[in-house]
């Protein structure tokens, strides 16, 4: 799964000291919300909760967590272990690397993730997201930061850092997307450097988070012909599919036929691995003024159909977006299930797990993902239908 880890709170001890990715204007109230789902805070200790200006129906203060807190991140990895999830691709935004406070927060988050992965026997690796980066310094920023992560934080020396094809796995998300930085020449330079041009200790197996239309060079992909060679220079391709369809038959099934199967057919003879993206649903009312519950989850059945399609098409690895992404409503970790348990001021501004009319527990999507991992590994039979029902494991 992807792990954003970008949630900070005022008073969390970080150099940011602000409500990052929870609220606008550093104002922790309902009108300034940027998330569309609320995390289940019941298992967190009192010192892990940071008080907002909202309250629950019993007048308790509504609290949120900070990923700067190592105990909170470790608990997330415990949830992964409890549900047999393999691990995460940790998002690291190149646009933040020249800001001392943001970089310090991200560095501490990286340490927290490494500790959580080692404590709970999960894997992790870095996924750079180039969104919003300065194109002029993009190549330099990537090289310098990876050197720092390897030499100073020593993340690739961790027993739990994900390896693939004999090298540490490094993911770079965003090259080739319309509206994002990076020329095709810069992309070639980046890929060549990390695959073979860098000193050996900095070389990596490269995963590209690429546009869903990488093969056809249209839609969400830049159209310059040189991008075709760029995409096929990665060791692993992971086309972004979040929001590209919204239902099973006309959406996910059609995406399988038009994208998944054709992608695999082209990549297989090139010996390029393929890691499709699946997502549970989507909502970004508070972040982007979109419809609340824009793509309904339907109790996990939407996610399961995508998984079934990927495995039955021949995929052997899956990227789930995402473990903790509440801004776009794709989070899979423990979330508030019942409307009555949301902050009272935000009842009509947030998606709760039971919004589609089913009675689910806060950890339902971790249970669904557990079953999905079993199916991917061949531990249970391939089935088109979600094999568990609410309350039944």
Report the C-alpha gap between 332 and 302 in whole angstroms: 13
- Residue 393 is predicted with a pLDDT of 52
> Token pair of 55, please?
């309250």
Report the C-alpha gap between 231 and 217 in whole angstroms: 10
Other beta carbons within 10 Å of 224: 12
Q: What is the pTM of this model?
A: 0.97
Closest residue by Cα to residue 235 from 265, 198, 196: 196
Which tens digits make up the pLDDT trace of 262-321?
999 999 999 999 999 999 999 999 999 999 999 999 999 999 999 999 999 999 999 999
- Residue 390 is predicted with a pLDDT of 85
Are 340 and 369 contacting, i.e. CB atoms less than 8 angstroms apart? no
**Sequence-ordered list of residues with C-beta below 8 angstroms from that of 107, at least 6 positions apart, any chain:** 153
Report the C-alpha gap between 18 and 78 in whole angstroms: 26
The DSSP symbol for 100 reads H
Beta bridge partners of 220: none
Below-70 pLDDT ranges, the chain? 391-393
Which tens digits make up the pLDDT trace of 129-172?
999 999 999 999 999 999 999 999 999 999 999 999 999 999 99
Report the C-alpha gap between 132 and 278 in whole angstroms: 24
Report the C-alpha gap between 319 and 332 in whole angstroms: 12
SS3 166: coil
- Residue 304 is predicted with a pLDDT of 98
CA atoms within 13 A on the CB side of 20: 20
**Sequence-ordered list of residues with C-beta below 8 angstroms from that of 214, at least 6 positions apart, any chain:** 176, 221, 227, 231, 237, 239, 263
Q: Chain centroid to CA 94: how far?
A: 16
The domain segmentation of the chain, as residue ranges, is: 2-376
CATH number for 2-376: choose from 3.20.20.80, 3.30.450.40, 3.40.50.1820, 2.40.110.10. 3.20.20.80
Pairing outcome for strands 2-3 and 87-93: parallel
């Amino acid at each position: 799964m992807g792990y954003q880890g970008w949630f900070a709170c005022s008073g969390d001890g970080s150099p940011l000291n602000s409500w990052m990715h929870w609220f606008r204007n550093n104002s922790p109230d309902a009108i300034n919300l940027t998330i569309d789902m609320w995390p289940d805070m019941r298992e967190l200790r009192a010192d892990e909760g940071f008080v907002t200006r909202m309250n629950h129906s019993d007048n308790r203060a509504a609290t949120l967590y900070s990923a700067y807190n190592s105990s909170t991140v470790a608990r997330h990895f415990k949830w992964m272990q409890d549900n047999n999830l393999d691990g995460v691709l940790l998002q690291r935004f190149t646009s933040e690397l020249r800001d001392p406070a943001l970089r310090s927060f991200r560095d501490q988050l990286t340490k927290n993730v490494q500790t959580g992965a080692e404590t709970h026997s999960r894997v992790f690796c870095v996924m750079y997201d180039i969104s919003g980066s300065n194109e002029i310094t993009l190549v330099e920023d990537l090289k310098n930061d990876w050197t720092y992560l390897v030499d100073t934080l020593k993340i690739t020396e961790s027993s739990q850092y994900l390896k693939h094809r004999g090298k540490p796995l490094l993911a770079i998300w965003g090259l080739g997307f319309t509206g994002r930085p990076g020329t095709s020449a810069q992309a070639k330079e980046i890929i060549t450097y990390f695959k073979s041009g860098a000193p050996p200790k900095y070389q990596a197996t490269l995963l590209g988070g690429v546009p869903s239309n990488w093969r056809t060079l249209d839609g969400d992909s830049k159209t310059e012909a040189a991008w075709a060679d760029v995409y096929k220079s990665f060791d692993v391709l992971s086309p972004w599919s979040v929001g590209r369809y919204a239902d099973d038959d006309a959406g996910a099934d059609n995406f399988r036929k038009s994208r998944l199967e054709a992608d695999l057919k082209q990549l297989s003879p090139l010996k390029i691995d393929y890691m499709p993206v699946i997502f549970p649903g989507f909502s970004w009312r508070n972040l982007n003024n979109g419809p609340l519950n824009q793509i309904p989850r339907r109790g996990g059945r939407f996610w399961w159909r995508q998984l079934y399609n990927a495995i039955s098409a021949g995929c052997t690895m899956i990227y789930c977006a995402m473990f903790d992404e509440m801004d776009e409503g794709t989070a899979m970790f423990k979330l508030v299930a019942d409307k009555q348990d949301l902050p009272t001021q935000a009842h009509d501004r947030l998606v709760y797990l039971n919004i589609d009319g089913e009675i689910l527990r806060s950890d339902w999507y971790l249970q669904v993902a557990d079953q999905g991992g079993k199916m991917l590994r061949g531990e249970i039979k391939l089935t088109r239908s979600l094999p568990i029902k609410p309350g039944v494991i």
